[in-house]
């Protein structure tokens, strides 16, 4: 693959491995995650809520990589963690559709698992099916455990394999698939480089044979050449184990290379979701256009007017009314400050939340000179 610093050809289907099966593995419906802001003082009644994720609905198809992009603080990590039930959603549902009911996956007779309602032992046993690969391989590995024990731990916690010999065999197998050798298993994490540590994290995530992985900025902390190695490994593993990924990243070139489809999030709300090629070359939402305009090689070929993104992302504890992008949008109209745009499918598989997406695309609406100033 090309390195993460240049813009690769966006993928319209999964670039490696089998084409994404269009049946959903994960269905997210009206997901909200609100964090209470604690008030100060003994009798404080609290200071409102941070609407980190505020009503998102989407599906992730079996075998695909759904990219998730947006500025810092837009809610990407919170979406991933709520799907995995590392965080409890405030509202909404997350459904997991297993291929076949399997021991311990919580599915009834072929039906989906409602991940949002799992509790206690059922939730604990379900965790093997959905795993997380973090951004920071330095922080996420226990420095006092050997690599063998780090990779084996999820198997032991889940009680999936009883004998030490069976666990060792499974650890050796998955370590090999992640290009770690037997010698590495005896060492401690400090002996490894960033790329090798991320291989250890990936092996640990895959050892329970999950179907779904959230990769949260999984290559962002690595050097560009190492990023390419890890991305290739993730794509090879996806093909080998029929994995489904939610791939969260700031770097749009990385997302373009890896993703079947891409979703764009802004202040806790999805603003656009489309097949990767379409999103990069025909974005319909002004915020997506602004993000794409920052990628020079997309801008040169794309059929959209570039938009410079100005100002800061609003605080989700005090989100703008109506369309949350209206304070920065050069096309904002009076209605944009009042009415929340509907999430609608404007072409097959292309969803957008903007009142004026078609008018902007057709050139019927000129940008205001000052972004966010409503036209007369
Ligand atoms: N536990 C928490 N308590 C209160 N607010 C939180 C908590 N976790 C996240 N937030 C807030 O929720 C919003 C979304 O955070 P999140 O980490 O999901 O964003 P992000 O898109 O992943 O950002 P980044 O790109 O910087 O990782 C931010 O305003 C953040 O400060
Ligand atoms: S035109 Fe209005 S609805 Fe569309 S993105 Fe801009 S502010 Fe939002
Ligand atoms: Mg994050």
Q: What is the DSSP string of 145-162?
A: S-HHHHHHHHHHHHT---
290-337 tens-digit pLDDT: 998 887 766 666 777 778 888 899 999 999 999 999 999 999 999 999
- CATH code of 136's domain: 3.40.50.300
Which residue's alpha carbon is nearest to atom 7 within ligand 2?
326
Closest by Cα among 314, 98, 95, 75 to 216: 75
Residues 256 and 131 in one domain: yes
Closest by Cα among 117, 114, 118, 33 to 76: 33
**Looking at the domain assignment, is residue 5 inside a domain?**
no
Pocket test for ligand 2, best of 325, 339, 373 (most atoms within 8 A of CB): 325
Distance CA 321, CA 336 (A): 8
Dihedral sign, CA of 73, 79, 85, 88? positive
Instruction: Give the 3-state secondary structure of 10-37.
Output: CCCCCCCCCCCCCCEEEEEEEEEEEEEC
For ligand 1, is residue 70 a contact (CB within 6 Å)?
Answer: yes
**Looking at the domain assignment, is residue 167 inside a domain?**
no
Give the chain's largest Cα–Cα span. Answer: 74
Ligand number, closest to the Cα atom of 327: 2
For ligand 2, is residue 200 a contact (CB within 6 Å)?
Answer: no
167-196 tens-digit pLDDT: 999 999 999 999 999 999 999 999 999 999
Residues 234 and 315 in one domain: no
Distance CA 375, CA 21 (A): 44
Residues 290 and 340 in one domain: yes
Please tell me the total count of domains within the chain: 2
Instruction: Say what the pTM is.
Output: 0.91
188-234 tens-digit pLDDT: 999 999 999 999 999 999 999 999 999 999 888 888 889 999 999 99
Residues 60 and 127 in one domain: yes
Tell me how crowded residue 349 is: count the other CB atoms within 10 A of its CB: 11
For ligand 2, is residue 341 a contact (CB within 6 Å)?
Answer: yes
Ligand 3 centre to CA of 267 (Å) is: 13
pLDDT top residue among 11 and 34: 34
Distance CA 258, CA 261 (A): 9
Distance CA 56, CA 273 (A): 11
For residue 10, pLDDT beyond 70: no
For ligand 2, is residue 290 a contact (CB within 6 Å)?
Answer: no
Residues 116 and 234 in one domain: yes
Is there a contact between 139 and 221 (Cβ–Cβ < 8 Å)?
no
Residues 257 and 286 in one domain: no
- State the pLDDT confidence band at 47, using cuts at 50, 70 and 90: low
Residues 61 and 132 in one domain: yes
Residues 240 and 351 in one domain: no
Residues 240 and 353 in one domain: no
Distance CA 207, CA 209 (A): 5
Distance CA 82, CA 64 (A): 19
Domain holding 294, by residue range, is 282-361
For residue 42, pLDDT beyond 90: no
Distance CA 9, CA 89 (A): 36
DSSP 61-85: ETT-EEEEE--TTSSHHHHHHHHTT
**Looking at the domain assignment, is residue 66 inside a domain?**
yes
Residues 231 and 311 in one domain: no
114-127 tens-digit pLDDT: 999 999 999 999 99
Closest by Cα among 141, 232, 124, 129 to 178: 232
Distance CA 329, CA 208 (A): 45
Residues 109 and 136 in one domain: yes
Exposure string of 143-153, with b = 16+ CB inside 10 Å and e = fewer, is: eeeebbebbbb
**Looking at the domain assignment, is residue 12 inside a domain?**
no
Tokens at residue 297, please? 């090689």
């Amino acid at each position: 693959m090309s390195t993460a610093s240049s813009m690769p050809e966006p993928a319209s289907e999964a670039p490696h491995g089998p084409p994404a099966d269009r049946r959903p593995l994960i269905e997210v419906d009206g997901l909200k995650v609100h964090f209470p802001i604690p008030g100060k003082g003994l009798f404080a009644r609290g200071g409102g809520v941070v609407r980190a994720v505020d009503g998102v609905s989407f599906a992730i198809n079996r075998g695909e990589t759904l990219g998730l992009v947006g500025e810092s603080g837009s809610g990407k990590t919170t979406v991933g963690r709520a799907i995995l039930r590392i965080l409890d959603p405030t509202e909404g549902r997350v459904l997991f559709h297993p291929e076949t009911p399997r021991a311990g996956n919580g599915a009834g007779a072929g039906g989906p698992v409602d991940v949002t309602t799992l509790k206690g032992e059922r939730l604990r046993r379900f965790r093997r099916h959905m795993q997380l690969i973090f951004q920071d391989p330095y922080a996420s590995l226990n420095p006092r455990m050997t690599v063998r024990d780090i990779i084996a731990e999820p198997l032991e916690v889940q009680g999936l394999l009883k004998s030490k010999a069976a666990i060792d065999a499974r650890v050796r197998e998955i370590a090999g698939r992640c290009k770690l050798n037997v010698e590495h298993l005896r060492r401690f994490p400090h002996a490894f480089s960033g790329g090798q540590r991320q291989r250890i994290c990936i092996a640990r995530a895959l050892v329970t044979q999950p179907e779904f992985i959230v990769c949260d900025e999984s290559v962002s902390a690595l050097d560009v050449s190492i990023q390419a190695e890890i991305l290739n490994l993730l794509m090879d593993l996806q093909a080998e184990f029929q994995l489904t990924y939610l791939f969260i990243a700031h770097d749009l070139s990385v997302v373009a290379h890896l993703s079947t489809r891409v979703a764009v999030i802004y202040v806790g709300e999805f603003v656009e979701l489309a097949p990767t090629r379409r999103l990069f070359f025909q974005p319909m939402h002004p915020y997506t256009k602004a993000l794409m305009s920052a990628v020079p090689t997309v801008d040169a070929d794309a059929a959209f007017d570039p938009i410079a993104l100005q100002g800061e992302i609003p605080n989700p504890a005090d989100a703008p009314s109506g369309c949350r992008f209206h304070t920065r949008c050069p096309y904002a109209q009076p209605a944009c400050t009042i009415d929340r745009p509907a999430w609608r499918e404007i072409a097959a598989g292309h969803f957008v939340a903007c009142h004026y997406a078609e008018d902007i695309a057709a050139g019927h609406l000129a940008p205001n000179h000052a972004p966010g100033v409503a036209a007369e």
